[in-house]
Amino acid sequence: MKKLSLILITCFGLTGCLKDDLFPSDYFSGPSEYEIEFLSGSFTGLTYKLTSHSQVDDHTNLVSKHIQKILSRPLLDDINKNVNSSSFLNFAWQGDTISGQFNAVFANDPSVPKSGDLQLILTNGDEFIASIPKGSIVDISSFGGPQGAIEGSINFNSDLDFRINGVNHRETASIAINFKIKRGPDQ
């Protein structure tokens, strides 16, 4: 019996040591990454690959409400440098800290008919603004542990307000946002 206990302790002890050494850590240092693609409308095929340069966490787990909240500000284009620092993305979904499909909600008041907003302001003065509707499907493919990565997407149809060359326009558009963000604190 003592031999069996010693073998089990040794195996579990080695497994714990080996796990940390052989398998990659769940830690994600960021910055958060976003790919925003227009799937329909005048800008079909236009894609922005952006990162968040927030001084605070982009993700917050609102434990008592079972809501995951995303607020990324500013969103910047590190390659082309054509996205102004007043650009942002915010939305939330009702759900726990697991992967799966969830419904988008407004974090502070679930009765509000939208989940959040996307605002892209370009350095040339052009802009794209859309509300993210409540009930949009948020697909979380991976929900890492504390300080790990959350990966997923949200697709939605919305009125897109845009300004091009100083002229304001509005049309319905379909937008897809893929993201990889650092899991933030529980509140």
- The DSSP secondary structure of 135-160, one letter per residue, reads T-EEEEEEE-STTSEEEEEEEEEEEE
pLDDT at 2: 52
What are 26-73's pLDDT values in tens digits?
788 889 999 999 999 999 999 999 999 776 789 999 999 999 999 999
- Spatial separation of the C-alpha atoms in residues 10 and 142, rounded to whole Å: 32
Q: What pLDDT sits at residue 1? A: 53
Flag residues of the chain having pLDDT under 50. Answer: 4-24
Pairwise CA distance, residues 135 & 116, whole Å: 11
If DSSP states are collapsed to H, E and C, what string results for 29-59? CCCCEEEEEECCCCCCCCEEEEEECCCCCCE
pLDDT at res. 13: 44
User: How much of the chain is helix, strand and coil, in % rounded to 5?
Assistant: 15, 50, 35
Please tell me the distance from the alpha carbon of residue 38 to that of residue 94, in angstroms, as a whole number: 25
CA atoms within 13 A on the CB side of 128: 22
Q: Which CA distances in Å does 142 have to 28, 71, 150, 180?
A: 12, 19, 6, 9
| pLDDT score for 3 | 53
Question: What is the pLDDT, as a whole number, of residue 18?
Answer: 36
pTM: 0.84
